[in-house]
Structure 1
């Protein structure tokens, strides 16, 4: 193989469609835009959701609910998942490495779902009251992040 002999794969390159270049091209005269109207004219277009002056759907419907912008940075882990993980010390970095929480997560809460029979040290994570009791009952402890 030589640099001057490299060519793109067969069918990878094709000519740009030339509209408005005569009847023989199949896209002459109106150039595929139809007859008259805002869409047929140059520069004649509108923003997404525009309904010709009618009150657009996104403004006709009531606003409802609330989505927190910080939701993607919060995670939760069950006691059952910690049991399967089998680590003696659990912190945010360990949970990210194991894949139990996403890489974007900044804070994790342990919830009481499943069983925990081994003693673990939880470093810098929060927990529900039931989960905290279950960890301590299994001989584990909670330590503040250094």
Structure 2
């Protein structure tokens, strides 16, 4: 057996039907599209349409849920706060809040509050009044001699 001798089995493939090539071809005149109507014409795009019956994609339930009153927090790492202190944008003696971080340019929008995350290193002794803080962030702040006060009912995580 040679590569150029390989063939499909007899009857395994068919030639394509050439529609609209005379009545004797079996697919002449209307070309298998029936008579009149939208789908007999070219350019038809009625993908989900089921003849007026409620389409399947509308019969199935929607998935997922988006909380209408979800709390959107800014997340700030303690390393970024230390950079702002080093640059002189944050005052060491003042309490770090949502408003002071916006004023310092650490965050752009106040949103619903700030959550402090523990990536980076904090050397400055700062007191925080924030919506949330991770355990590692609280440890790092207290290790530097600072204090964390949590506002609202945002759980630690």
TM-score, normalised to structure 1, is 0.51
Q: Is the 8 A contact 2:81 2:106 kept in 1?
A: no
**What is the CA deviation profile of residues 65-96 of structure 1, one whole-angstrom value per residue up to 9, with x for unaligned ones?**
33333446322211111111212231011122
Q: How does 1:63-142 map to 2 (within 5 A)?
A: 63-71=62-70, 73-86=72-85, 87=90, 88=92, 89-97=95-103, 98-103=105-110, 105-142=111-148
- In the TM superposition, residue 117 of structure 1 has moved relative to its aligned partner by 1.5
Q: Is the 8 A contact 2:116 2:130 kept in 1?
A: no
Q: Is the 8 A contact 1:75 1:101 kept in 2?
A: no
- In the TM superposition, residue 101 of structure 1 has moved relative to its aligned partner by 4.6
- In the TM superposition, residue 107 of structure 1 has moved relative to its aligned partner by 2.1
- Unaligned residue ranges in structure 2 (runs of 5+): 1-36, 39-47, 152-157
TM-score, normalised to structure 2, is 0.48
**What is the CA deviation profile of residues 95-125 of structure 1, one whole-angstrom value per residue up to 9, with x for unaligned ones?**
222251524x122211111221211111244
Over the aligned positions, Cα root-mean-square deviation in angstroms equals 3.0
Aligned residues: 97
- Distance in 1, Cα, partners of 2:59 & 2:81: 47
